[in-house]
A and B are shown apart, each in its own frame.
Chain A
Amino acid sequence: MLLGIGPGSLTSPVMGYAAEAASKAGELSGAELDDLIAFGEVLVEGRTLSPTERGFLLEHIEDRLKHTPGHLSLYRTTVRTLERLAGRPFARLDLPERVELVTRHRLGASQTSVEEAPGPFSSEMQAIRKQIVEDLIGGYYGSAAGWAIVGYQMFPGRCGDLTRYTRAEP
């Protein structure tokens, strides 16, 4: 595949993947990045992503930290809240546990009703829902991984076949 995006590996460990990239992503530690990426995996596809796919999430987080003031604090709040809800680092949960936690606390929904009863850490959870969920989903689906989901292996910004646009896709 042209982007090197293979099918998601069901056995890829989440833990430790981001640790070596920690120094590139502002002041987030490797463990914090692991938690964020583990959360992102649940949000964007609900499955364990391949290392390449997780790389797009990591690249997005790094870009945000570099270019958008305020995101470091938001990401930290997210990591802290997830850990409190899980009782341990979020990335240490296996995938079904992560999905269950996100479902139970409705963390995947970027819009929530104003009548909703405040739960634990309600202000932090609102920040996650309103900002981080959309941020991670948008970052992933705006990357080559997102375009690959709709069958565009050559996008974005990667040059390809000039005649392809003249015909229907097979």
Chain B
Amino acid sequence: MEAEACVVGAGAAGGIIALELARRGIRVVVLESGPRHDFGRRGEYVRRYLRHENPWRSPLPELDRYTPGGPTPYVLDWKRVRGVGGSTLHWEGYTLRLHADDFRLRSLHGIADDWPISYQDLEPFYARAEKALGVAGTPDDPWASPRSTPFPLPPFPLSYSDGRFAGACRSLGIALHHLPQARNSVAYGGRAQCRACSTCHVCPTGAKASIDLTHIPEAEATGRVRVVTEATVVRLETDRVGEVSAAVFARPDKVEQRVTARVFVVAAGAIETARLLLLSSSRAAPDGLANRSRLVGKFFMSHPSIEVTGLARDKVHPYRIGFSTAVSRQFTVERDRASRGAFMLEFMNSAGPTPDRLAVTSGQWGEALRRHVQDEFGRRLGIRVYCEQLPDRANSVSLNPRVRDYFGNPGPHIHYSVGGYERRALDEAKEIAGRIFAAMGLTDVRRSNLMFAAHQIGTHRMGTDPSVSVVDTNLKAHDVPNLYLVGSGCFVTASSSPPTLTIAALAIRAAEHIAARLHPTGRVAPSVSSHEHEPRLTS
């Protein structure tokens, strides 16, 4: 198999890159480890999700073997997704831009490192990513950095419980504002308006943006993109000059095949991208491909998270939609970030136990059980906290030769810890949530155990100095001239915001660079199907 560009992974980063390249006339092969999840099966997937199963996992469970380690093990099980669409298949759809300050932690607070690009560099690409994904929002966030374009879609109205939170927050000087999200508040991009099905981890209508719906069909419709599914890349081979010459992949039959290309883009998520580089070691690169810095896999980050809930006297009507509609980013910016992390408060529309949880933990049965569930359901309000995590070299993804995947390759070992910087932030967040609940008259305030968002960040960080970073500002590997590593693995710091919109913006930016390199005089083809991808000349 031969292409001009070979993309590994059909998720947010890979799917966007594939479409952007195809629109510039570039032939692309996308190798996706998971299957193509038939949209017609979403009803079945909803039922599986409601049974607390993850329908997006690989049909080859051995492919997802890994080991957690370190003081605070990072557990992947529910976070694993394989398939065309990647993690956007099950994401919550929250699409916040990073704040300008998030790019400058070293300059502003003397900790971690600055990104080698600024918010201003990325702003036009944020705007394009919002348009491509269909972000619903309104500019009412007092702590947002300046934007050049309006949100493409109107915001989702605040919820009933948001209204109750808002009054308490106002009395405490905390601003609550709309949460931007890639979910159709009105029909957009050929996809329907959200219909409040409440199962957003499996959106049955396609109203939530996911790359299998927003990008892959259009990419394939160009005739220049071929997506090969259930094709796991097991290593990248290099030639004598140190460029990648082939992506070697295998399907479930374990027969190896090759894709040759001029440019290779690895967009397999922060864990699998790092693993693939480490698996691709050679005599010339004994520590792994693109790893002269020895930083591949290092600085792994996520968003440590807690949920704080309180009990209301009356019903607060949770679980009527599957997503949140309000947040506060007050504590992401207006604070001294030198000693404790930034954090975002998400005002949950669905908190407290569901009827089945209430039922199985009640110890009751029969009529008494029914009464118990009716009485107890729907009285908890909750605030979820996402905390910024500092990059720490010890937090890392490495190969574990004692754990082999379906193809016999070492699985990833994730060493992880959460330090005082994060824990102090979470303690402060809990205290603020407690004040909000007190102002609302809530009782029985409870804090969950420490959790982690399904956000995997770091592992191939961006920088201008090849000795302390893996990729440059165009996401090209410092050591390998025709290899690009795209995704949240390139983030220098984690901020406290969900990473997907930034992944998308960086992917669009990287695609422009790759296209200019492959087709220096190329034109951008108009969008095949719709709406958001405006024709734009590159030269």
- What is the minimal beta-carbon distance from A93 to any residue of chain B, in angstroms? 15
Residues from chain B with a CB closer than 8 A to the CB of A47 are 367
Q: Is A30 an interface residue (CB 8 A)?
A: no
Please report which residues of chain A, range 118-170, place their CB below 8 angstroms from some CB of chain B when the two chains form the complex: 133-134, 137-143, 146-147, 149-150, 152, 154-169
Q: Is B197 an interface residue (CB 8 A)?
A: yes
- What is the minimal beta-carbon distance from B24 to any residue of chain A, in angstroms? 37
Residues from chain A with a CB closer than 8 A to the CB of B377 are 150
- What is the minimal beta-carbon distance from A102 to any residue of chain B, in angstroms? 7
- What is the minimal beta-carbon distance from A4 to any residue of chain B, in angstroms? 16
Interface pair A149/B157, CB less than 8 Å apart:
no
Interface pair B46/A157, CB less than 8 Å apart:
yes
Interface pair A157/B366, CB less than 8 Å apart:
no
Interface pair A146/B46, CB less than 8 Å apart:
no
Residues from chain A with a CB closer than 8 A to the CB of B417 are none
> How far is B160's CA from A43's CA once the two chains are assembled, in angstroms?
34
> How far is B46's CA from A88's CA once the two chains are assembled, in angstroms?
39
Residues from chain A with a CB closer than 8 A to the CB of B358 are 141
Interface pair A149/B374, CB less than 8 Å apart:
yes
- Chain B residue nearest to A134 (CB atoms) is B360
Contact flags (1/0) for B416-451 with A, using CB distance below 8 Å?
000000000000000000000000000000000000
Interface pair B354/A160, CB less than 8 Å apart:
no
- Chain B residue nearest to A166 (CB atoms) is B157
Interface pair A141/B356, CB less than 8 Å apart:
yes
- Chain A residue nearest to B365 (CB atoms) is A108
- What is the minimal beta-carbon distance from A95 to any residue of chain B, in angstroms? 10
Given contacts A137-B359, A162-B196, A165-B349, contact A146 B373 (CB under 8 A): yes
Q: Is A63 an interface residue (CB 8 A)?
A: yes
Interface pair B160/A166, CB less than 8 Å apart:
yes
> How far is B489's CA from A91's CA once the two chains are assembled, in angstroms?
58
Please, how many residues of chain A have a CB less than 8 angstroms from a CB on the other chain? 44
> How far is B53's CA from A109's CA once the two chains are assembled, in angstroms?
26
Grouping DSSP codes into helix (H, G, I), strand (E, B) and loop, the A interface class, with mixed when no group exceeds half, is loop
Residues from chain B with a CB closer than 8 A to the CB of A108 are 364-366
Please, how many residues of chain B have a CB less than 8 angstroms from a CB on the other chain? 46
- Chain A residue nearest to B370 (CB atoms) is A45
> How far is B49's CA from A67's CA once the two chains are assembled, in angstroms?
13
- What is the minimal beta-carbon distance from B300 to any residue of chain A, in angstroms? 33
Interface pair B374/A165, CB less than 8 Å apart:
no
**Segment of B5-13, B230-238, B314-322, B461-469 in the binding face:** B314-322
Contact flags (1/0) for A107-120 with B, using CB distance below 8 Å?
01111000000000
> How far is B194's CA from A161's CA once the two chains are assembled, in angstroms?
9
Q: Is B199 an interface residue (CB 8 A)?
A: yes
Residues from chain B with a CB closer than 8 A to the CB of A67 are 48, 51, 53
Q: Is A46 an interface residue (CB 8 A)?
A: yes
Q: Is B204 an interface residue (CB 8 A)?
A: yes
- What is the minimal beta-carbon distance from B314 to any residue of chain A, in angstroms? 9
Contact flags (1/0) for A63-100 with B, using CB distance below 8 Å?
10001000000000000000000000000000000010
> How far is B202's CA from A168's CA once the two chains are assembled, in angstroms?
26
Given contacts A63-B51, A167-B160, contact A111 B198 (CB under 8 A): no
Interface pair B365/A159, CB less than 8 Å apart:
no
- What is the minimal beta-carbon distance from B93 to any residue of chain A, in angstroms? 15
Given contacts A156-B198, A166-B157, contact A141 B366 (CB under 8 A): no
> How far is B185's CA from A163's CA once the two chains are assembled, in angstroms?
11
Interface pair A142/B50, CB less than 8 Å apart:
yes
Contact flags (1/0) for B298-341 with A, using CB distance below 8 Å?
00000000000000000101011100000000000000000000
Q: Is B409 an interface residue (CB 8 A)?
A: no
Q: Is A61 an interface residue (CB 8 A)?
A: no
> How far is B50's CA from A86's CA once the two chains are assembled, in angstroms?
34
> How far is B204's CA from A160's CA once the two chains are assembled, in angstroms?
12
Q: Is A42 an interface residue (CB 8 A)?
A: yes
Given contacts A109-B363, A137-B365, contact A160 B355 (CB under 8 A): no
Interface pair B359/A146, CB less than 8 Å apart:
yes
Which of B158, B360, B363 is in CB contact (< 8 Å) with A141?
Answer: B360
Q: Is B144 an interface residue (CB 8 A)?
A: no
Which of A99, A138, A169 is in CB contact (< 8 Å) with B360?
Answer: A138
Q: Is A18 an interface residue (CB 8 A)?
A: no
Q: Is A44 an interface residue (CB 8 A)?
A: yes
Interface pair A142/B315, CB less than 8 Å apart:
no
Interface pair A102/B356, CB less than 8 Å apart:
no
Q: Which 4 residue pairs are nearest across A and B when measured between Cβ atoms?
A: A46-B366, A108-B365, A159-B195, A142-B356
A-B contact pairs, 17 of them (CB 8 A): A43-B369, A45-B366, A137-B356, A137-B359, A147-B355, A149-B374, A150-B374, A154-B196, A156-B46, A156-B199, A157-B43, A157-B46, A157-B197, A161-B196, A162-B195, A167-B160, A169-B317
A146-B359, A157-B197, A165-B196 are known; give 4 further A-B pairs, CB within 8 A: A159-B205, A165-B321, A165-B349, A169-B315
What is B's interface to A at a CB cutoff of 8 Å? Answer: 43, 46-51, 53, 157-160, 193-199, 202, 204-205, 315, 317, 319-321, 349, 354-356, 358-360, 363-370, 373-374, 377-378
